[in-house]
Amino acid sequence: MASTLKVFYQNAFHHLKTTGSIAPSSRFLAQAMIKHVKHQGKPLCILEAGPGTGPFTKRIAALIDEQDHLDLCELNEQFVEYLKQMIQENPKLNRHKTQIEIHHKPVQELTGENRYDYIISGLPFNNFEPEQVREILDKYKRLLKPEGTLSFFEYAGIRPLKPFLTHGREKARVKAVDSILREFLGQYEKERIWVPWNLPPSIVHICRFQ
């Protein structure tokens, strides 16, 4: 199996906008992202959006029971191939292989409503167009059960700093994304976790819609 870093950097450079990160997430960030995942006496259904090389996937797999289901939704073909291989070769994932389903498509194209107890999103919203951010957040709202929890992360300081470092169309994009995320977090954020031990340091947003 190719090394995680090799696969990550080959793709990070070729797909800068959609990968949107300079390193795979640390175990500290992964831990914060799944902090709220708990069993409550019934099988769990979990969506991980943008698993990349799987730093969150491994942690989720360590938590799930035999009745639970994990959907991985990943846009990038190389990451999809890497994840398939990882599920075959990593014993912690392999024992859940029949419960893990990979969807090779943009998360916007997932269908259904009230399906998931948890959505763990690794998508780099700060790289996206405002309409795309709105579309994905609306999709998460539809896919999550009313009592479900969404976690997503962003690099600390990016949104406050970027307007000063950009101009023209890019500045307008950054400001529009900031305003969408502020409004969303103002309505739904229940907890914010500061994760210094990640490259770069990050903030995890824990959101609920009710």
Ligand X SMILES: C[S@@+](CC[C@H](N)C(=O)[O-])C[C@H]1O[C@@H](n2cnc3c(N)ncnc32)[C@H](O)[C@@H]1O
Selected binder of ligand X within 55, 61, 64, 86 (CB under 6 A): 55
60, 119, 123, 158: which one binds ligand X (CB under 6 A): 123
Binding flags for ligand X, 13-32, as an x/- string (CB under 6 A): -----xxxx--xx-------
C-beta of residue 87 within 8 angstroms of C-beta of residue 95: no
User: Cβ of residue 120: shortest distance to ligand X, in angstroms?
Assistant: 8
Quickly list DSSP for 47-110: EEE--TT-HHHHHHHHH--TT-EEEEE---HHHHHHHHHHHHH-HHHHTTGGGEEEE-S-GGG-
Q: Residue 50 interacts with ligand X (CB under 6 A)?
A: yes
Task: Tokens for 109, please give them.
Answer: 């194209």
In the numeric block, which tokens belong to residue 74? 């990943």
Residue 150 is which amino acid? L
**Of 46, 59, 76, 202, which lies in the binding site for ligand X, with binding defined by CB under 6 A?**
76
Q: Are 29 and 198 in contact (CB under 8 A)?
A: yes
Residue 130 touching ligand X (CB under 6 A): no
Smallest distance from ligand X to CB 209, Å: 20
Q: Tell me which of 32, 34, 56, 70 binds ligand X, using CB under 6 A.
A: 56
CB atoms within 10 A of CB 18: 18
Among 36, 37, 69, 74, binds ligand X (CB under 6 A): 74
Q: Interface residues with ligand X (CB under 6 A)?
A: 18-21, 24-25, 49-52, 55-56, 73-76, 79, 106-108, 122-124
